[in-house]
Every structure is written in structure tokens, then in C-alpha cells.
């Protein structure tokens, strides 16, 4: 599936869940707090800005935010919450699209870098972030840690979430570092709705090498937005990379 097919009008309409899930204050609040701190007095650029889940509250905090977004439907949904003057958006992919201006912060949240399905595209994304940042600027990536330890020998899939009306299943292609997340939603009838999204998972050490190739230095890695320690048991991480200051 192409990304344009995944992030279509139906997905854009269903994406926002105000006050719950990804939009719950206890989930979203720490994200915005940390990004506002990292942006400082400068401007921020969000790769794959989507419907503005993070960009809108970050702009409300006084941080100038620009977005790059591939999906016209997601941009249209964003425009119901913030106009072009508030959050300018350039339509395009996060690996190659360039926007005017210089930023102190570029950020990618909620596993979005894994939507790029080749290592080359992911490296290009890092390089694109670097070209937008001033010296000392930061690139923040929120990404799930590969969870292959839960994959039984000989198995190609794991159930990663199960609750009434919903089951989440990941299927793996370990040779290509690919997985497909399958989201099944159902009720008491025989009918179910399936949503799928393909990803290329990235090991933290591999992510650090991508950053180094683009001229970044690793500044910090934590298990969440509040600064919890990242360990072997962590399911995800928030990693901050930094462009070195010019010296001499």
C-alpha cells in the first residue's frame, strides 16, 4: 500500500479522538511540554504534521510551527483547526521536501519515521532534518523499540493489544525489517473493520548511525516524553539529536 492510500479521507476523518487515546491530556501534554522546551525561542518544523495533533497545541504555546505533510486529506482536517497563517504546511514527503526558513527544532512523533519503508529513505529523512536546522538545532524522533523478543520461534505475528472491540496484530518480515500493523475493530455482529499500516522498524543503534551520517550528535534517549530511563524493557523511546555548534 502507498502512503497516500493509507492516509486517505476516511482515515483523516477518524484520526482525531479529542480527549482520549493519543489526544488525552496526559499523553499529549508531556509531548508539547518537551518540544516547547527544546524549541526555545526559535521555530519548529514537524515532519508528517498530519491533522495537527501536536502542532496545534505547540503553536498555542507560542512556538512558530511549520509542517510537511504528504496527505491532502490530513491537511484538510488540520485546516478545520488552524489556518495557513497559524501553521503553514507544505505538501510533500518528509525525506525530500524543503520548506523556507531555519529552525531550532525538527520533530517526528509516534513512529512516523518507520512509515518510510527503506533504509535509504530513512537516512534521507535525517539529512532533510539537518538541512532545515541552524547550528545547535535539534531533531527529535519518537519511535517504538523493535519487539522481536515477543515473536515465538517460527512465528510471523504477535498480538500486541487486545480489548473489547479491538485487536492489534503485527506481522513481521525480519529479513527486510518490515512489519505490518493490523488493527481489527468489531462489535457483536459478524462484521469487522480492518486498518493496516506498513512500517520499517529501526534498531536504536541503527538510528544513531543514520543520525551520524547526517551530521548529528546523540544528545539524549529516554523511554518517554517525561524523561524516564530507556532500558532493554522499554517499548519505545524519545531520542534527541543535535547539530553541533560551529566553532573556530
The pLDDT tens digits of the residues spanning 32-46 come to 999 999 999 999 999
Scan for cell 526559535, then name that residue.
42
Residue at 41 is within a domain: yes
Q: What is the mean pLDDT of the chain?
A: 93
Average pLDDT over residues 69-82: 94
How many domains does the chain fold into? 2
Residue range of the domain that includes 161: 148-198
Q: Band of the pLDDT at 21, cuts 50, 70, 90?
A: confident
Same domain, 186 and 97: no
pLDDT tens per residue across span 91-120: 999 999 999 999 999 999 999 999 999 999
Residue at 247 is within a domain: no
Give the bridge partners for 111, in sequence order.
Answer: none
Show Cβ contacts of residue 203 under 8 Å, excluding neighbours closer than 6 positions. 146
Same domain, 135 and 182: no
Question: Residue 248: pLDDT above 80?
Answer: no
Same domain, 9 and 75: yes
Same domain, 39 and 162: no
Same domain, 130 and 191: no
Average pLDDT over residues 58-66: 97
Please give the pLDDT value at position 246. 76
Same domain, 172 and 211: no
Domain holding 60: CATH number? 3.40.50.150
pLDDT tens per residue across span 173-221: 999 999 999 999 999 999 999 988 999 999 999 999 999 999 999 999 9
Same domain, 194 and 76: no
Of 142, 145, 143, 129, which is closest to residue 32 (Cα–Cα)? 142
Please give the pLDDT value at position 142. 98
Strand order across the 44-47 sheet:
89-91, 65-69, 44-47, 103-108, 133-144, 236-242, 217-222
How many angstroms separate the CA atoms of 150 and 161, rounded?
13
**Mean pLDDT lowest among 160-164, 223-227, 229-233:** 160-164
Amino acid at each position: 500500500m502507498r502512503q497516500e492510500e493509507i492516509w486517505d479521507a476516511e482515515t483523516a476523518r477518524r484520526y482525531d479522538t479529542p480527549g482520549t487515546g493519543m489526544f488525552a491530556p496526559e499523553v499529549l501534554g508531556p509531548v508539547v511540554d518537551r518540544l516547547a522546551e527544546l524549541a526555545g525561542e526559535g521555530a519548529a518544523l514537524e515532519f508528517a504534521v498530519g491533522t495537527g495533533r501536536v502542532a496545534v497545541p505547540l503553536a498555542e504555546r507560542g512556538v512558530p510551527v511549520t509542517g510537511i505533510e504528504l496527505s491532502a486529506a490530513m491537511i484538510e482536517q488540520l485546516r478545520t483547526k488552524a489556518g495557513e497563517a497559524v501553521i503553514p504546511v507544505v505538501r510533500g514527503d518528509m525525506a525530500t521536501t524543503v520548506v523556507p526558513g531555519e529552525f531550532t527544532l525538527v520533530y517526528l512523533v509516534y513512529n512516523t519515521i518507520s512509515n518510510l519503508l527503506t533504509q535509504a529513505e530513512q537516512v534521507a529523512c535525517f539529512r532533510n532534518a539537518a538541512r532545515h536546522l541552524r547550528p545547535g538545532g535539534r531533531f527529535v524522533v519518537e519511535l517504538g523499540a523493535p519487539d522481536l523478543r515477543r515473536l515465538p520461534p517460527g512465528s510471523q505475528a504477535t498480538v500486541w493489544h487486545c480489548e473489547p472491540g479491538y485487536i492489534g496484530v503485527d506481522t513481521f518480515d525480519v529479513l527486510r525489517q518490515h512489519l505490518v500493523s493490523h488493527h481489527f475493530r468489531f462489535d457483536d455482529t459478524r462484521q469487522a473493520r480492518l486498518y493496516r499500516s506498513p512500517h520499517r522498524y529501526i534498531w536504536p543503534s541503527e538510528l544513531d548511525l543514520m543520525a551520524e551520517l547526517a551530521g548529528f550528535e546523540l544528545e539524549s534517549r529516554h523511554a518517554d516524553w517525561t524523561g524516564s530511563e530507556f532500558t532493554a524493557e522499554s517499548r519505545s523511546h524519545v531520542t534527541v539529536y543535535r547539530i553541533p555548534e560551529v566553532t573556530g
